[in-house]
A and B are shown apart, each in its own frame.
Chain A
Amino acid sequence: MLDIQNLHVDVDGKSILKGLDLSINEGETHALFGQNGSGKTTLVLTIMGFPNYRVTEGRILFKKKDITHLPINERARLGIGLSFQHPPAIHGVKLKDLTEIAAQHGNRAFKTEEVAETIHIPPDFLTRDVNLGFSGGEVKRTELLQLLAQNPDLVLLDEPDSGVDLENIALVGETINKLLDRDKRSRERHKAGLIITHAGGILKIVQADKAHVLVDGQIACSGNPGELLNDICELGYEECVKCPR
């Protein structure tokens, strides 16, 4: 579904991604590890098409179509969705309205109030300005609400569990499972996902198929998510990178 080839990306004239290759097939969920500043967020924002993330070389194919230079909204309409780590607050734009806009390009039968309730978003939140004064955990849940409405085929999740309290972590994880068809048998899964996680906690609930370690703008290592995470926890990123695997 997603095929990234030799991707080089500059941000404000600084080279961040330096020849990155990554393929995610339909039905697969991949996890992406990496230290702060390794380029994880740059990768998802580039896949989404943010204009400040300039592709200097390489290309991004989505559903076999070259989307390297498409604007963000066209990528969204093709089926790419993103849960932001730190989304901006927008005065006067209500969460419900934005969720319903997302549903227009995705799940048209989406019932905002009903779904909101299932992910513990109280009704008064829907009439609030999006992200304005939301706590870290509230931001993550409302991002997922919008993604459920958008119903994308490729789901990009940037630190979906950071700031989420223990009480809600299972709920967030199960919601992601739903978004990614992880609640279905493997042959019935059609959604693809890329989850950025620094600490890896979310992977206890969301079973990823594969994991990658991003070091200095390149995929330094790929493999079984559990094993990679263990290595990182035991040895740290620096040792992990030296591993010849």
Chain B
Amino acid sequence: MSKVDELTERAEKAREKKAAYGPDIPLESYTSKAPAHEKVQTLKMLPTNYQNQSLGVGVDASEDERSGSFFQLDTSVVYSKTSAPNVEVLSVTEALDKYDWLKDYWWKAVAVDADKYTAQAALEFSNGYFIRAKAGAKTILPIQACMFLAQESLSQNVHNIIIAEKGSELHIITGCRTADELSHGIHVGVSEFFIKEGATCSFTMIHNWGPEVAVRPRSGSIIERDATFISNYVCLKPVKSLQMYPVFRCVGANATALSYSLLYATEGSHMDVGARVIMEAEQCKSDVISRAITNGGEIISRGNLTALHRDVKGHLECRGLILGDHGRIFAVPELDGAVPDVDMSHEAAVGKIAEEEITYLMTRGLSEDEATSAIVRGFLDIEIKGVPPALQEEMRRAVHTTEGIGL
């Protein structure tokens, strides 16, 4: 049996397989087919409202301060370009045609039969991106990629491959969002990351879905010796159901995985978001940091550090803030040490804003609402080392433009 047939068979068997976490989404109520969209020569040729909406998730049509761009509208890749030497940005379909070796990476970091959503991405595949920094290539300006969902009831099933070759440095910002007028849809996104020896990759993902949209990202990463992967996830806008639990495998000595997530759930939003780091070699390091705020919605914030090798170090931090009288935050920090001589810790705290903090700021002239906003913004302001200032700024902007947080 060929490799492709084998993957298809495994996916077929997993078609009905429910995910380990999150409410089950009936995929039959969506279609995976969408009319093709024409390619554009520049992002400025996209409809203005799409350009403006993408800006809110860090994708800038002017392409200033970016070294490459990718834009997928529904199932069509309408734009891909890079100005950085030795960095490739292609549609993954194109890349599969171009590089025979790419099949060795396909479904390597994520299991095709993990659940019905990975199966859907394999069987009803609707493109995705391929971003690769060649060995030694270093780009400080980020590559931007946008997954835009505009067609009603579409299941956008993408599969992305990101490769940072030996000694390279790559920064990516991915913005995912639905058109304002769309009410019903699902995004299934498989992303596989390969961070090779001595490479550094940061991946910042900003999501802005609709209140009736379901989202099932499925991410896996393989981090080699002396490599660093920084993953930032920001979701501050309403979403019906978001469930993701990316897995970071540190397979080489001195590999580092850093995961940061900022979540804000209003009434009607359900988010089940976690991160798992498996440390499989000596001197691996990991940080899993999350900040979750509920203003009526439900957030399950998971974290898991697993040590399979001696001499590794990891820290897990879940902080939750409950605003208002409704909403729920369920923090689930897990540490799993299977060998001696490991150093793993966690801290979790869930509560409301301390009254004394609000009154303190009020003595400096802020109103109660302004004081609350300042504290909430501060809560979400986590300093992330190794991420270029432009991306820090995008994260800050996402926080500042969120209703109920920003001023």
Contacts and interface: CB of A to CB of B under 8 A. Distances in A.
Interface of A: 48, 50-52, 71-73, 76-77, 81-82, 84, 87-88, 90-93, 97-98, 101-102, 104-106, 129, 146, 150
A52 B359 CA distance: 10
B364 interface: yes
Interface in B74-107: none
Interface stretch (B193-201, B216-224, B305-313, B371-379): B371-379
B29 interface: no
A146 to B, nearest CB: 6
B4 interface: no
Nearest to B319: A91
B21 interface: no
Binding site secondary structure of chain B: helix
Q: Tell which of A73, A76, A104, A150 has the most Cβ of chain B within 10 Å.
A: A73
Nearest to A72: B362
Contacts of B63: none
Contacts of A90: 357, 360-361, 375, 378
B362 A71 contact: yes
B379 A76 contact: no
A57 to B, nearest CB: 23
Given A73-B371, A92-B377, 9 more contacts: A72-B359, A73-B366, A82-B363, A90-B360, A91-B379, A92-B375, A92-B380, A98-B364, A150-B364
Contact count band on B: 20 to 34
B400 to A, nearest CB: 13
A146 B378 contact: no
Contacts of B367: 71, 73
A211 B365 CA distance: 29
A81 B364 CA distance: 7
Interface of B: 354-357, 359-368, 371, 374-375, 377-382
Given A76-B365, A101-B365, A101-B366, A84 B378 contact: no
Given A88-B356, A90-B378, A93-B374, A102 B365 contact: yes
A88 B354 contact: yes
Contacts of A71: 362, 367-368
The 7 A-B pairs with the shortest beta carbon distances in the complex, nearest first, are A92-B378, A105-B365, A72-B362, A92-B381, A102-B364, A93-B378, A73-B362
Contact of A88 (B357, B362, B374, B378): B357
Contact of B365 (A84, A88, A93, A104): A104
Given A88-B354, A92-B381, A76 B362 contact: yes
A172 B375 CA distance: 28
Nearest to A98: B364
17 contacts: A48-B363, A51-B359, A72-B359, A72-B363, A76-B362, A76-B365, A81-B363, A90-B378, A92-B380, A92-B382, A93-B375, A97-B374, A101-B361, A101-B365, A101-B366, A102-B365, A129-B378
Contacts of A81: 363
B208 to A, nearest CB: 22
Contacts of A92: 375, 377-382
